[in-house]
Structure 1
């Protein structure tokens, strides 16, 4: 059985990428909006296409280590069946999406070729 890396608050800044599909679009959009409102976080666009390394539709939430301890348990409780990638913002995109990648739900395959020049 594969070990899933659960989020740990050991970095200064993070992205959470909430993954969804056409059937869960409305739920995911509302979840991201609520996260922004409740925690005062910056929420990116709700992408109804694959963007960057993300192989599913997604919405990005930006937060820091100060918000982590309140936000991550809330997100995990509220996400329903959605899978969420939580990764550090270390300045190295490849490390962020591999070594510093954590999951709420099941891991989603990423397209790491998106980071190649």
Structure 2
């Protein structure tokens, strides 16, 4: 099956919210402390406006749900995804980070749509629902992610932007050219 290329279909299926799960071996005091220091750093940076990232108040000191070790969750809207991802790539130390989207298909999000920063851990997916009816809204009071109230860029404006980028890249020998369909 080919990936979709219809612009409206792609825009309608865009992921708006993400989870980052910071993993640590619960019996390793140094890793546990490093995870807490990283969490405090994320909270300080959120406070100072670096990105929107909401660590869950609870830090799990033992396996919970699909997560096989100590962990905590950080919710992030798509508006801050690149900034938080970059920060965690650069500052996670030896900790592993599970990154997954939030969609109606929770099991697939944790299985085939996941990514890892650092070494992967095996997950127990048996505890996760296959599909839910509700969009997984978190922190709707922030009006970000699936709860965003920002105006969307109209389809025609996006197409004009894409055409302008293609035109500018025409002279770049290393840039792949878009198909002419």
After superposition, the CA RMSD in angstroms is 1.6
Does residue 17 of structure 1 match 2:21?
A: yes
Aligned to 1:28: 35
Secondary structure, counterpart of 2:21 in structure 1: strand
Secondary structure, counterpart of 2:45 in structure 1: helix
Deviation (angstroms), 1:88? 0.1
Cα 1:51–1:82 change in 2 (3 A) is: same
1:31-86 CA distance string (max 9 Å, x none): 01211221342111111011100001101000011111111011111101111000
Q: Name segments (4+ residues, structure 1) moved above 3 Å.
A: none
Q: Is the 8 A contact 1:16 1:60 kept in 2?
A: yes
1:53 to 66, 73, 78: 66
- Separation in 1 of the partners of 2:96 and 2:82? 19
Q: Structure 2 length as normaliser, TM-score?
A: 0.56
Deviation (angstroms), 1:111? 0.5
Task: Kindly indicate whether structure 1 or structure 2 has the higher relative contact order, using CA contacts under 8 Å at least 6 residues apart.
Answer: 1
1:112 to 103, 116, 125: 125
- Separation in 1 of the partners of 2:77 and 2:44? 15
Higher strand fraction: Structure 1 or Structure 2? Answer: 1
Q: Is the 8 A contact 2:23 2:72 kept in 1?
A: yes
Does residue 67 of structure 1 match 2:80?
A: yes
Q: Structure 1 length as normaliser, TM-score?
A: 0.85
Aligned to 1:41: 53
Aligned length: 108
Q: Is the 8 A contact 1:55 1:111 kept in 2?
A: yes
- Structure of higher CA gyration radius: 2
Deviation (angstroms), 1:102? 0.7
